[in-house]
């Protein structure tokens, strides 16, 4: 699986988890709920989260909280 495809899958997982918890979680809780400790590359969560924030698919609410934007 290519890096781009893997990150897309990881970001989709983050979005699903955030939506299932009402849209907002701490970064640590998101990591745990995504099962990121089992992802093939350990720093993959941080990279995928940074990509998700950069593209607007996830929004940072300060240093500890993240949210998924409300769908139109």
- pLDDT (tens digit per residue) in 18-65: 999 999 999 999 999 999 998 887 678 999 999 999 999 999 999 999
Q: How far apart are CA 4 and CA 30, in angstroms?
A: 21
pTM of the model: 0.89
Catalogue all structural domains in the chain, each as residue range(s) with its CATH number.
Answer: 3-67 (1.10.10)
**66, 42, 48, 38: CA torsion to nearest 10:** -80
Q: Is the distance from CB of 52 to CB of 13 less than 8 angstroms?
A: no
């Amino acid at each position: 699986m290519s890096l781009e495809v893997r990150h897309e899958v990881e970001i989709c997982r983050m979005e699903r988890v955030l939506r299932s918890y009402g849209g907002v979680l701490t970064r640590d809780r998101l990591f745990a709920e995504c099962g990121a400790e089992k992802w093939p590359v350990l720093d993959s969560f941080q990279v995928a989260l940074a990509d998700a924030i950069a593209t607007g698919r996830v929004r940072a609410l300060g240093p500890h909280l993240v949210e998924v934007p409300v769908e139109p």
